[in-house]
């Protein structure tokens, strides 16, 4: 760890907490504002979200069902819309302890985090959702007639989109942990078998209880893990050699 990093980490703990409090407050405010804006466009967002369903209809079984469904979709969309600001607060809080000049690194990290999330969510929307919905709804066969409520569908879709989006953050997290010296290329290589087990368990928790969807999440996460090894190899913290 360099002298600059040590000096940055020597900032009083209470000052770190105060900084964290304000950044969390700003992140929450950005989320509320984004969710409010998304509520105005809830109809358009819902129309986009239900496209993978095809001709399958959604139903409302409660008086407040439609209202809560729109609130839910606004919150999920608000999280995604506010992510650049949320990531900015996160990396702005972390960066002073890592780098000499904070402004040089914050925006690239925010951009990388946002693009990876968008990539994960798009991968889920265009590939995973059609496969998962076709399998799960088609599993009812000719005997059962599924009645899918709009609330349950939004929860299901939102969970998958967020899971894939945040799952694709693995390379950025690896870059950060490698930069501060917590993990190394050797650590990641030795931990491959444990990573595989963890990824499989994570995929089983975050996805519906069908093997196909779990594999479709686990495989890209493992590929990202391998990419993270390469990233840490080239960008990870390297101790300065004594003269």
For residue 89, being part of any structural domain is answered with: yes
Q: Is the domain of 158 the same as that of 96?
A: yes
- Helix and strand element counts for the chain (H, E): 11, 2
Q: Is the domain of 137 the same as that of 228?
A: no
For residue 157, being part of any structural domain is answered with: yes
- Among 107, 136, 165, where does a domain finish? 165
> If you average pLDDT over every residue of the chain, what do you get?
84
% of the chain at pLDDT higher than 70: 84
For residue 13, being part of any structural domain is answered with: yes
Q: Is the domain of 173 the same as that of 124?
A: no
Q: Is the domain of 160 the same as that of 188?
A: no
Supply the pTM of this predicted model: 0.84
Going 85 to 155 to 118 to 215, the CA torsion angle's sign is: positive
**Residue-wise pLDDT tens digits, 128-169:** 888 888 887 877 666 777 788 999 999 989 988 998 999 999
Q: Is the domain of 14 the same as that of 134?
A: yes
Measured CA to CA, the distance from residue 143 to residue 41 in angstroms comes to 37
Residue 65 predicted with pLDDT over 50: yes
Q: Is the domain of 50 the same as that of 146?
A: yes
Half-sphere exposure in the Cβ direction for 172 (13 Å, CA): 22
Q: What is the domain extent for residue 231?
A: 169-237
Reduced to 3 states (helix: H, G, I; strand: E, B; else coil), residue 166 is helix
- The candidate with the shortest Cα–Cα distance to 9, out of 124, 137, 132, 95, is 95
Measured CA to CA, the distance from residue 127 to residue 21 in angstroms comes to 38
- Cβ proximity of 137 and 93 under 8 Å: no
**Dihedral angle, C-alpha 194, 196, 202, 204, nearest 10 °:** -130
- Calculate mean pLDDT across residues 192-209: 85
Measured CA to CA, the distance from residue 150 to residue 61 in angstroms comes to 9
For residue 243, being part of any structural domain is answered with: no
Measured CA to CA, the distance from residue 167 to residue 66 in angstroms comes to 30
Measured CA to CA, the distance from residue 35 to residue 41 in angstroms comes to 10
At 216, the pLDDT band (50, 70, 90 cuts) reads confident
Q: How many structural domains comprise the chain? A: 2
Q: Is the domain of 79 the same as that of 117?
A: yes
Going 97 to 99 to 102 to 106, the CA torsion angle's sign is: negative
At 116, the pLDDT band (50, 70, 90 cuts) reads very high
Q: Is the domain of 50 the same as that of 143?
A: yes
For residue 242, being part of any structural domain is answered with: no
- The candidate with the shortest Cα–Cα distance to 168, out of 131, 199, 134, 201, is 199
Q: Is the domain of 186 the same as that of 231?
A: yes
Q: Is the domain of 134 the same as that of 32?
A: yes
Measured CA to CA, the distance from residue 178 to residue 183 in angstroms comes to 5
Measured CA to CA, the distance from residue 197 to residue 240 in angstroms comes to 35
- Among 111, 131, 165, where does a domain finish? 165
Q: Is the domain of 174 the same as that of 159?
A: no
Q: Please count the other Cβ atoms lying within 10 Å of the Cβ belonging to residue 43.
A: 10
Q: Is the domain of 107 the same as that of 218?
A: no
- Cβ proximity of 80 and 124 under 8 Å: no
């Amino acid at each position: 760890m360099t002298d600059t990093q040590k000096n940055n980490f020597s900032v009083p703990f209470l000052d770190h907490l105060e900084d964290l409090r304000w950044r969390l407050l700003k992140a929450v405010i950005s989320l509320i504002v984004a969710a409010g804006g998304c509520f105005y466009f809830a109809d358009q967002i819902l129309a986009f979200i239900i496209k993978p369903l095809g001709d399958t209809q959604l139903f409302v079984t409660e008086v407040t069902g439609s209202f809560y469904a729109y609130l839910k979709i606004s919150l999920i969309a608000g999280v995604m819309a506010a992510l650049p600001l949320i990531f900015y607060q996160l990396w702005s809080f972390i960066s002073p302890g890592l780098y000499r000049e904070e402004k040089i690194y914050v925006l690239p990290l925010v951009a990388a985090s946002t693009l990876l999330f968008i990539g994960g969510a798009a991968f889920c929307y265009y590939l995973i959702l059609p496969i998962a919905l076709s399998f799960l709804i088609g599993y009812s066969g000719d005997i059962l007639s599924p009645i899918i409520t709009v609330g349950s569908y939004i929860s299901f879709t939102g969970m998958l989109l967020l899971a894939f989006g945040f799952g694709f953050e693995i390379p950025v997290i690896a870059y950060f942990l490698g930069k501060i010296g917590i993990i190394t290329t050797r650590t990641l290589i030795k931990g491959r078998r444990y990573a595989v087990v963890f990824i499989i368990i994570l995929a089983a928790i975050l996805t519906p209880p069908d093997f196909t969807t779990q594999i479709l999440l686990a495989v890209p996460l493992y590929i990202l893990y391998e990419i993270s090894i390469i990233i840490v190899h080239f960008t990870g913290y390297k101790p300065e050699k004594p003269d």
